[in-house]
Structure 1
Amino acid sequence: MMSTATAFESEIKRQAAKRSTMVSVWVNLFLTILQIIVGIFAKSQSLVADGIHSLSDLLADFVVLAANRISHRDADDDHPYGHARIETAASLVLGMLLLAVGAGMLWSAGVKITEPESIPDVSPIALWVALFTLVSKEGLFRYMLKIAQRVKSSMLVANAWHARSDAASSLVVAMGIAGNLMGYTFLDPLAAALVGFMVMRMGGKFSWDAISDLIDRGLEEQEVQAIRETLSAIPGVRDVHDMRTRRMGDYALVDVHLLVDGRISVSEGHHIAATARRRVMEQHRTLDVLVHIDPEDDHGHATHTCALPPRDRLMTVLQEMMGQDLSARIQVQLHYLNGSIELEATLDPASARSPEERQLIEQQLVDIIDHVREIRSVRILESRLLVEREDPRDLPPPHA
């Protein structure tokens, strides 16, 4: 379940994505119309190609808006980890869209270059539109990247660099048109081809990154090490191992094993695990942390431990040896360590009616080793209640 801080951060990111994307929509809508209309009348293939590129940006913006709306929905039964990966899917759609647009540009430009007699002279107005587009796209890139870095959204970063690729392509278009105006007519379709190549390159990068995340790519080593250091600093943690991470949108899912003292209670082990989970979620961009507590290094003894007899079987042996009356007077704690079992029996002194009865209980506990070969040691402890207070949760808070 997402923490309050994470939910607040998610809402800030959603609003930032909506605001920056709407700015991009209106800028790209205006530039698309301007470039395509002027490119057709000015007979500039590269300007038309850049206009189509701007149109792909417009479609990309709508994809981002839709993904941003869906990705921030709460977790449900079908999506227990939430919908954050829709952002990754959106980045994949953006990448595939860029690949398709870039391939079309390359094909069209290649046809023109192989038929130089079909290349017309370009009108000077195309150059002014290309320069205006260049300035507009560079400004849009800087605006979007600033917001994306502030809210740490990979989807918004991808969309911002998409705008930067447009600015770079507009520069190439301006150079191609300028070359055409100076008499080198082939430079206009050549510029269109370069734009297509740049678009395909960016699309390939976005697609590969998105696919890597969708097939559970882990966090960068620096991020993993930072999480490891956070866990190692928690009191009671002796070692951190078998850590696995995977991305969920701009957040991460973490699975980790923590080695603790093998003789602490279950509740103390749970407290360490809960503390570890909370610390990681507070200090790192994580959606959920699954902590497994190990009482020993489970690489060497995991198989042997699983083969040891369970508690119910051991208690049956005890009852058969001691009888229902005596076995009910002791509390048994089992430690499954080093491939064997250590048995601790806690005896309330009041439950032993005589020294002879106590001696009988002790002897029968010792004899269990002969009946269960997996038991390595037997200890008997005395239980005496020294003091007991009311539920601490019902007490008033301490004075400052």
Structure 2
Amino acid sequence: MNEYKKVKNILIAILIANLLVAFLKIIIGNYIGSYSVSADGLHSLSDTASNVIGIIAVVISSKPCDKEHPYGHKKFEVLSSLFIGIMLLFIAGKIIVESILQLNTSESLNLTMESFIVLVITLVINVIVSRYEYNAGKKLNSYILISDSLHTKSDIFISIGVLVTLILIKLGAPIIIDKIVSFVVAVFILYAAFKIFKFTVGILVDRAMVEENELKEIVCDFEEIKGIHNIRSRGSESDIYVDMHIMVEPNMTVEASHKLEHNIERQIQEKINQNIQVIIHMEPYYRL
């Protein structure tokens, strides 16, 4: 439970940082008349929404197992990431539609050194936030932190593209480049959504989480094991379930087989992931 509290506190801190970045970008975008900067600000604002969703999901996921949820509530964290992906699709669609409507406009940009400096500062904040969130996610085995860091990471590349575009326009490039970059912003958002969908859908449809050969190598190190088959795995990085059938000598005692099961599980946890739970079905091995 303590780890869930750490994840929640990290998300709250990142929420405040993302709010600051989003409002700065939107204000500057409106001030200098750049739709690409405003679009980037809307994307950053979606980061704050994902943080709020993440906080709610972490609170629910931290609940202990009960009769209705014997495997716990951790998939609520996955569902929240799926919702973030849907939200990103909506924002990308909105930016594309408004970019098309803005193609025939020819307003000039009012880029000042002050606004440029503020945009660079927001970029630096995004880099720090994304890196910190990803490292914390790996350390705490938090799927929502890793997923949200990928969302924030897309901001970095988008902001770099927007800054380069503004410089080009300041140097005399046609104003339509600003509208074109907004399409690029939408593409990056769509890509971020795709990555989130890929991970979340894989977990929800019980995609294999551990390589079968990797498990075989670990289990076959035990001399008591005469055969292994029907290996399955599912879950997420922070909550992996593995089950398998192993063959042992028919005369092995219940006590010995019980000890062997625990040793196998401990070895798998040490070599692959501490969050793995292993269920083993014992079968008698008969020599032909």
Q: What TM-score, normalized by structure 1, do the two folds share?
A: 0.66
Deviating 4+ runs (over 6 angstroms): none
* Structure 2: tracts of 5 or more residues without a match: none
In structure 1, the residue corresponding to 2:102 is in which secondary structure?
Answer: helix
Distance in 2 between residues matched to 1:148 and 1:278, nearest whole Å: 23
Alignment partner of 1:29 is 2:16: no
**Alignment partner for residue 10 of structure 2, among 20, 31, 49?**
20
* Shift of residue 47, structure 1, vs aligned partner: 1.2
Distance in 2 between residues matched to 1:111 and 1:129, nearest whole Å: 28
1:175–1:51 Cα change, 3 Å: same
In structure 2, the residue corresponding to 1:18 is in which secondary structure?
Answer: helix
In the other structure, the counterpart of 1:205 is 195
Distance in 2 between residues matched to 1:129 and 1:50, nearest whole Å: 14
Matches within 5 A, 1:166-245: 166-183=155-172, 184-221=174-211, 224-245=212-233
1:229–1:253 Cα change, 3 Å: same
In the other structure, the counterpart of 2:119 is 130
Distance in 2 between residues matched to 1:11 and 1:156, nearest whole Å: 15
Distance in 1 between residues matched to 2:194 and 2:14, nearest whole Å: 22
Q: What TM-score, normalized by structure 2, do the two folds share?
A: 0.89
1:109–1:55 Cα change, 3 Å: same
Percentage of matched positions with identical amino acids: 24
In structure 2, the residue corresponding to 1:119 is in which secondary structure?
Answer: coil
Distance in 1 between residues matched to 2:157 and 2:214, nearest whole Å: 36
The two structures, once aligned, show a CA RMSD in angstroms of 2.3
- State whether residues 268 and 276 of structure 2, in contact with CA within 8 Å, keep that contact through their aligned partners in structure 1: no
Alignment partner of 1:140 is 2:129: yes
Whose radius of gyration is greater, 1 or 2?
A: 1
Distance in 2 between residues matched to 1:11 and 1:236, nearest whole Å: 38
1:136–1:266 Cα change, 3 Å: closer
**Alignment partner for residue 153 of structure 2, among 139, 147, 164?**
164
Distance in 2 between residues matched to 1:193 and 1:129, nearest whole Å: 23
- State whether residues 151 and 192 of structure 2, in contact with CA within 8 Å, keep that contact through their aligned partners in structure 1: yes
Matches within 5 A, 1:104-119: 104-113=94-103, 115=104, 118-119=105-106
1:239–1:11 Cα change, 3 Å: farther
Distance in 1 between residues matched to 2:165 and 2:91, nearest whole Å: 19
Aligned pairs, number: 284
In the other structure, the counterpart of 1:294 is 283
Q: 1:253-300 CA distances to partner (integer Å, 9 max, x unpaired)?
A: 111001001233444434433443454456533453211001137xxx
Larger relative contact order (C-alpha < 8 A, sep ≥ 6)? 2
- State whether residues 276 and 291 of structure 1, in contact with CA within 8 Å, keep that contact through their aligned partners in structure 2: no
